A and B are shown apart, each in its own frame.
Chain A
Amino acid sequence: MQYWRKPLDADKIQVPHGEIHIVRDRCKGCGFCVEYCPRDVLELSKQFNIKGYHPPEAVLPEACVHCQLCEMLCPEFAIFVTLREEVETIES
């Protein structure tokens, strides 16, 4: 990370945070959300849901940046993200 170029307006960039909601029993365990989360927030849980699939769980919930990729990719309408109020800047 230390080698990354730092944007000149880094102090102005606001990083949103998302709150992940998982409808566990609707999930069919395809793993699309886990695979494509750009922040590796999700992992398939060890537990089974009611259908016998392993739904995802947020293992790094604080890392979610509300990109909603999981929400769009999910074929089951089983995961979605709401925007959290607090934002942070890259500087902080």
Chain B
Amino acid sequence: MSKQNNNLPEHPMERLLRMDRIPHIWCSTCGIGTAVSCFISALEKFEYPMDKVAIVSGIGCTGRVAGYIKLDSFHSTHGRAIPFATGLKLANPELKVIVISGDGDLSAIGGNHLIHAARRNMDITVICVNNFIYAMTGGQSAPTTPLTANSSTAPYGNSDPPFNLPLLVGSCGATYVARWTALHIRRLTKSMHEALNKKGFSFIEVIAPCSTLYARRNRLGTGLDLMKFYHDNSEIKHGAPLEELDINFQQKIIVGKFIDKEKPTFVDNWNNWLSQKLGSKFVPYGVAKA
């Protein structure tokens, strides 16, 4: 039975969405909304008080995610979602802080913050929606744009080699690294749930279609065609060596969970080291109040 009238029951995700801001700004066949659906499903399974979960975004299409999620949410400046989240998390260690932002925001202008947060094992989850392009500004090359792909700033094709994001954050010490496409909804949701439960710096790259700019400029059809491409060309290889995770234009995309390990976080290290050095003089930070 299908109901198509106005007396619909509430969409199960409405509890965690700012419904007064829906419909969102993303184009038809954009994959960011799907990544958000998966994230909300993961949040629903996440056994943590939702009052204590905060979302931080940077700038760009994915930068708008924070504004649609009904939690404490911050839409910061371009590239600075991770340091903003670092401040938020350190100021209030009870919070679970999740950064959701785009590939350009996190790995170009925010690249320095990304590697340092991974190095410190800052206890935050970073979800990077990678659509291979700067979409909000009209389709310019990003540090993730595959070689030869067309963008408005690479009108004859991109000659500038892209980042392999899992390799980048993995080599900097991230404790959880996974990559999925927007089509791998169940696995992506599971990964997001694992990352939320992870103590330390967790990173998930979500390959998502951008129909209006990436697909159109590269004559790849719509976002639906990109989803079909992911279906045919992504290969699940858990634990694959990070060096093998390069993404080439319209070629195989290796997805899976690549790193899942335990390591003390920034605050753990602060507390452990200083209590060792300073003994009883030291006031441990962020330890639950007695």
- Taking Cβ atoms with an 8 Å cutoff, the residues of A that contact B are 19-24, 26, 28-32, 35-36, 51, 53, 57-58, 61-62, 69, 71-77, 80, 82, 84
Contacts and interface: CB of A to CB of B under 8 A. Distances in A.
Interface of B: 1-4, 8-9, 11-14, 17, 22-24, 26-34, 36-38, 41, 183, 185-186, 189, 222-224, 227-228
Contacts of B32: 75
Given A69-B185, A76-B33, A77-B14, A32 B4 contact: no
Contact of B1 (A31, A51, A57, A61): A61
Contacts of A73: 34, 37, 183, 185
A71 B34 CA distance: 9
B88 to A, nearest CB: 26
A73 B33 CA distance: 8
A26 B26 contact: no
Of A19, A62, A72, most buried by chain B (CB within 10 Å of CB) is A72
B257 to A, nearest CB: 19
Given A28-B28, A32-B224, A35-B224, A76 B23 contact: yes
Given A26-B23, A30-B28, A61-B1, A77 B11 contact: yes
Nearest to A82: B9
B271 to A, nearest CB: 39
